[in-house]
Structures are given as structure tokens and as C-alpha cells.
Structure 1
Amino acid sequence: MGTRLYFVRHGETQWNAVKKFQGHSDITLSPVGREQAERLAQYMQKFDINAAYASDLSRAKETAEIIAGKFNIPVICKQQLREINFGNWEGLTIEEITDRYKETVEQWWKNPSATPIPGGEVLSDLVKRVMAAISDIIAEHPGQNVLVVSHGGVIRSIICHIMGIDLNEYWRLQMNNCSLSILYFPDGEIKKGILELFNFSY
């Protein structure tokens, strides 16, 4: 039996709108983000979703609750599904970060998998904690369809890991707010993961 995971990036926040790095900062959905989630929820009614998980950050949790509400299922929150911790960069735009942390930023763009973010996390550590959560979800739901609402960096990293894409290239994967990506795992095996849909925005 295979497990199908429906990955959704959370809806837009006010920080997304002005392109500020969010990371672990608990920023809520904007009115636009809630509207995005409602639209996607309507679209996803065509699927048979059996369970729902989300990052414990408000923007992901609320997006998940809007979608899961259409299926009358609860949302299980997992801290492991949080975005990468951007540390000192959170609340800043890329221009502000580049101005204040020029050398680190240059290194991070070249090698994000191994470059520590000041006061934050290393991308390779994000992959370890996120994939541990995904492994648990797949094991818990054999043969089922599962909604997983998380963050852009998280979903990009999962797809890179499963599809064998160099993690240092993960920024080249476009990930829109409230987009849907689907991964199918035949026999519940992560190494056999198949990307069925990527970055679909409704």
C-alpha cells in the first residue's frame, strides 16, 4: 500500500507580501492568505484526505485548519515541520540581510546546506528533522492520503531530498504561497517517492 502526501505551503502573510524572512517567527495569515487557503480548500475537496498535519506556527496551522475543515478532520501539529530557523535574519528583507551580513549571505547562497545562519539553523539540520517527521507520518498512514501544511523551505528541502536534487539548488524550486505539491510513496518507502504535482496554485 502506498501513501500519498499532499504538501501545501501556507497562505500569504504580511511579511511574505513585503518579502521579509520569517523562519520561526510566528506570523499569522493576512486576509489574502486566508482567501488563498479557502480557494485551495474548495479545490481539494475533489481528493479523499484522511489525515492532516501542520507546522505548529500560526500561518501553517491556520491554513491546515481551513483545508482540513472541509473534511471534518483534526489538524495534528508538529514542531518538526517548522520553517528553517533564520535566526538574526528574521524580520529582515534580503536587501537588509545582504547589507548587514554580506559575506555570510554570499556563502549561504553558494552552499546553504552547510552554511550556518547567524543565530539560526543549518539547512542540512532542517532536512534531518523534517524527514524524521515525514517518515513517521508515512508509517502512521499506510495506504492513506495525508495533508501536510508547512513552509516553502521545508517543502523544497523534502522534494530535493526525495528526488535526489542537490540541496544547494533548492532555491531554484519555485514555491508559491498556498501551492499544492503531491508526493506518492509506493509501499510507504521514502526512497521510492514519486513527485506527481509541483507548485500548483489554484
Structure 2
Amino acid sequence: MGCRILLIRHGETVWNKEAKLQGQTDIPLSEKGIQQAVALSKRLSDRKIEAVYASSLSRAIRTAGFIAEPHHRQVQILPDLQELNFGNWEGLTFKEIQQNYSELSKTWWSKPLETRIPGGETLDELAKRSNRAIKDIVLKHNDQTVAVVAHGGTIRSIVGTVLGIDLNQYWKLRQDNASLSIVYFHGWDKGILELYNDCSHLETV
């Protein structure tokens, strides 16, 4: 008895393509992002999925809609699944951040758990809210499979917590757009990572 969570990163946006930090800025899917979401939906169409959740950002909701459609499910919105709030860094490239926030960016890359971006939040705050959302889902959906569409930082924080790694190193966990990761929870504190960042469904996109 347990809950299997299909962790899905949303499809590509224009800002993803331009390597800009999105955070909680509500950027929609690009045409390629829509194609990616459709491809993943086809892959999961034969799988029994009892519920579909998404963050409250449109790129996640749209991706989740494609996943939910073959299963005749309504997308349930959980704001706690939103991406990290990057504050003043949102809309900037990594190069621009290094140029404009040289010392702070170095500190953030080494200690994101406790470093607050101006106008944003710490990674610790993201980890607490994202794992709170997953815990609620696990407790609600015993012996079921659930799709959760979220963001790179959100998924890294969840998987990192499951694996018990130092979340200051969470950026070492690669997360591609429209990728699929799977965690099986025997209990909330007993998660097993079954699949990570699988993009095999995107080979023709």
C-alpha cells in the first residue's frame, strides 16, 4: 500500500529557451512546450492516473491539462507547488545575474537554502511548502497513482528531500522540460525514487 507520484516538469517556455529565470513570473508554454506536453500525455495515456495536480502557474496548469485529458480528470491547483520566487532576478539570464549581483550570486549558488534573493524567497522556504504539498497528496491518495506537474526547483527540492541529500547541492539534479520522474511512497517518510528526468518521449519533438 502506498502512493506513486509522477513528478512532471512543465513544457518549455520562451524564457526557458532564452535561459532566463522565470520563478513565479507567469510565462506560458511555447509551441515546442505544447508539443512536449502532448508527447508526454500520449506516453501516460495508458497508465491509470487517479488525480492530476499542478502549481498555480499557467505553464504547469497547461501541461497538466494535456496529462489529465485522456484520464478524464480535473486539474487540481496547489499554489505550494510553484517555482522558487527569484524576486529581482526573474527575467534575467544567469550571465546578467552574475554581472549585476556578483557576490550575492556566489553566495546563493553555495548556500541557496538560507540565502534570500532580493524580493524573493530562500530555497528552504520552497522546500518546506513543496514537500508539505506532496505530503498532503500522499496521505490523500493511498494505493493510487497521481500526476503532479510543477517546476524544476520544486521537483529538485522534493526529490532531494526523498533522497536525503544536502539541498544546497540541489542544482546538481538536472530537470529538463516535460521530463518524468517517479517516486513511490510506502509512507510519507519512506519514498523511493523509481525514475528520474526521463525524456524518452521527447525524442521526436
| 1:194 matches 2:167 | no
SS of residue matched to 1:191:
coil
Aligned-partner residue type, residue 190 of structure 1: W
Instruction: Give, as a single letter, the amino acid of the residue that structure 2 aligns with 1:77.
Output: I
Instruction: For 1:190 and 1:15, locate their aligned partners in 2 and report how far apart those are by CA, in whole Å.
Output: 34
Aligned equivalents of 1:116 and 1:77: distance in 2?
Answer: 26
- State the Cα deviation string for residues 139-181 of structure 1 (Å, max 9, x = none): 1111100000000000001011111011011100110000000
Partner AA of 1:2 in structure 2: G
Give the gaps of 5 or more residues in structure 2: none
Aligned residue in 2 for 1:32: 32
SS across alignment from 1:161: helix
User: Hey, what's the Cα distance between the residues in 2 that align with 1:27 and 1:70?
Assistant: 25
Identity of aligned residues (%): 50
Cα distance in 1 for partners of 2:6, 2:169 equals: 22
> Structure 1: which 4+ aligned runs deviate by more than 3 Å?
none
Q: Note the residue ranges of structure 1 that are not aligned, 5 or more in a row.
A: none
- Structure 2 Cα separation of the partners of residues 101 and 190 of structure 1: 38
Q: CA offset at residue 46 of structure 1?
A: 3.0
Q: Residue 34 of structure 1: CA displacement? A: 0.2
Q: Which TM-score applies when normalising by structure 2?
A: 0.96
- Kindly tell me the number of residue pairs found equivalent between the two proteins: 200
**Separation in 2 of the partners of 1:47 and 1:108?**
39
Instruction: Kindly indicate whether the alpha-carbon contact (under 8 Å) linking 2:139 and 2:188 is maintained by their aligned counterparts in 1.
Output: no
* CA deviation map 1:37-91 (0-9, x unaligned): 0001001123111100000100000000011111110000111000000000000
Alignment partner, residue 137 of structure 2: 137
> Which segment is superposed worse, 46-55 or 28-37?
46-55
